Amino acid sequence: MTPINKATLYIETVMIRSKFYNTLLITLITVTCITIILQIFSLKKTLVLQPDTHKAVKAISDQSLNGTSSATLIKNNNKWLLKCNIQASSYNWPFCEIALNFFEAPYSKSMKGLDLSSYSSIQLKAKYLNHPNSSIRIQLRNYNDSYAKIDDDSTWKYIGIEYWPDDMGITEIPMKSLQVASWWLNEQKIPIHLSAPEFDSVMVIEISTGNKIKPGQYMLELEYIKFTGKFFTNSQVLYTLIALWVFSAIIVLLLNLKHSREKLTNTAREAQELKQLNQLLNVKTKTLKDKAERDPLTGALNRSGIQPYFTQKQKKLSLIFIDIDHFKLINDIHGHLVGDEILKEFVKTISENCRNTDIIARWGGEEFLLVCPDTLLSEAFELAQLLRKIMDEKTWVNNIKLTSSFGVAQRGDESASDFIERADKALYDAKARGRNQVVMSKPTSHLNPLI
């Protein structure tokens, strides 16, 4: 690739990366804004309890605690109407209440109440038809098997608040305003870490007369109880957005790291290739660099390019003659374009799995020479075995499987043509033995190689 092409490719890459980062940033900002807006103004859920939707309702008075008050519950115009006769007695806290149950008898350990933990507020439409200045209590009775008994409702946590309704009777109560009754905490000896309000298993909701209510006739009307909340808590949304931004930042960092590593690898490889070319071809000028000494298809040296390496006097010079087995069959079945792709990938695979000092050349067709300077015959044989295994195990284009045959020789006191001929003869023997073989040519004694 020419410097101009490399510069153009680099600019295009930078522009693509910049566009990706800008798109990612805009997407994150848009998603964050939309999520926050939806969380504030939408994504709400409600639960409404009223006579036509909830049937497990009953009236309770202090008679269950040895009091003398009485309570009657009726439905009137799709409203609950509690008729309460408060009477003074030995029980000091007389009351009447409407109890909405969320469990079925008989009791069982697997029983689970109503989960209200995701709701943030309660709206009640409840008022006295007489005695308008009297207070109302709302209590949620939550069950937790860490301290409560399923068959003893006195052990269910009392969580509530007392309030004074207005003339309309519509009252909004934040769930966080509800408190656990201190008398119940003391009575049950609840540890501090379990003393906070809980709403994950509400067994009963009680709407009752207030504390210190005076004796008399009371009529308490309850139209509905409505719980309002979010599908997702603010904390969940916040943590999700933080996780999204952190994940995106990690992706960007990894992409930058990958780009930096690729750039460093490419730079190192290019520098190494240039160094190898300068050393082995003794390139002194740009004119020599541009000589047509390489195969245009694979990029490997051609016969002209490899010739200088056989004229150099080296004590240890080995040669690996390589042939792709049944390559003509690949061309016949898959076509020459696929064959060309395999040849290019073949050279690339050899180059990636041998030393930087080794030189690959295309001898002709599907035959290649791998010149290994400063290499003993046994070392070249091991390299050939490694390359043979890699070629055999590799999956090529179009899921093609192929093998290669190898002939290995070390140069002795002989001409370049005799040296190449011996390697070629070893290759021929490898093919004769059934291909996918490595055959080593042992020179005659007068060649005296360093094995």
For residue 271, name the pLDDT band (cuts at 50, 70, 90).
Answer: confident
Q: Would you say residue 14 has pLDDT above 80?
A: no
Say what the pLDDT of residue 444 is: 56
Closest CA to 136 of 50, 223, 51: 223
Active site annotation includes 366: yes
pLDDT of residue 237: 86
Mean pLDDT of 125-137: 94
Count CA within 13 A, CB hemisphere, residue 69. Answer: 31
Q: What does the pLDDT average to over 363-376?
A: 94
The superfamily CATH assigns to domain 49-231 is Galactose-binding domain-like (2.60.120.260)
- More confident: 186 or 308: 186
d(C-alpha 357, C-alpha 373), whole Å: 7
Q: What average pLDDT is seen over the chain?
A: 89
Question: What pLDDT digit, counting tens, does each position of 198-213 carry?
Answer: 999 999 999 999 998 9
Domain boundary assignment for the chain: 3-42+240-268, 49-231, 292-447
CA distance 81 to 71: 10
Task: Report pLDDT for 44.
Answer: 87
- Phi (first) and psi of residue 434, to 5 degrees: 115, 5
Q: What is the pLDDT of residue 287?
A: 46
Confidence tier at 20 by pLDDT (50, 70, 90): confident
Amino acid 15: pLDDT: 82
In the predicted structure, residue 448 carries a pLDDT above the cut 80: no
Dihedral angle of Cα 174, 177, 183, 187, to the nearest 10 degrees: 70
pLDDT bin (cut points 50, 70, 90) of residue 445 is low
Q: How far is CA 211 from CA 162, 170, 367, in A?
A: 8, 20, 102
Whether 49-231 and 292-447 share one fold: the answer is no
- Check pLDDT > 60 for residue 283: no
The fold of the 292-447 domain, in CATH, is: Alpha-Beta Plaits (3.30.70)
Nearest-CA neighbor of 210 among 157, 260, 161, 156? 161
> Can you name the residues that pair with 119 across neighbouring β-strands?
229
The average pLDDT across 82-107 equals 90
- What confidence score (pLDDT) does residue 401 get? 94
**Which element (helix H / strand E) includes 224?**
strand 216-230
What is the rounded distance in angstroms from the CA atom of residue 375 to the CA atom of residue 423? 15
pLDDT attached to residue 13: 77
pLDDT range class, residue 7, cuts 50, 70, 90 = low
Say which of 198, 366, 382, 393 is annotated catalytic.
366
pLDDT in tens, 140-176: 999 999 999 998 999 999 999 999 999 899 999 999 9
Residue 334 pLDDT > 70, yes or no? Answer: yes
Please state which of the ranges 8-12, 285-289, 375-379, 390-394 shows the lowest mean pLDDT.
285-289
Query: Is the pLDDT higher at 295 or at 104?
Result: 295
Query: Can you name the residues that pair with 97 across neighbouring β-strands?
Result: 60, 208
**Res 451: pLDDT:** 44
Q: What are the pLDDT digits (tens) for 218-268?
A: 999 999 999 999 888 778 888 999 999 999 999 999 988 988 888 888 888
pTM: 0.51
Spell 184-202 as b/e; 16+ CB within 10 A means b.
bbeebebeeeeeebbbebb
- The answer, yes or no, to whether residue 404 has pLDDT greater than 50, is yes
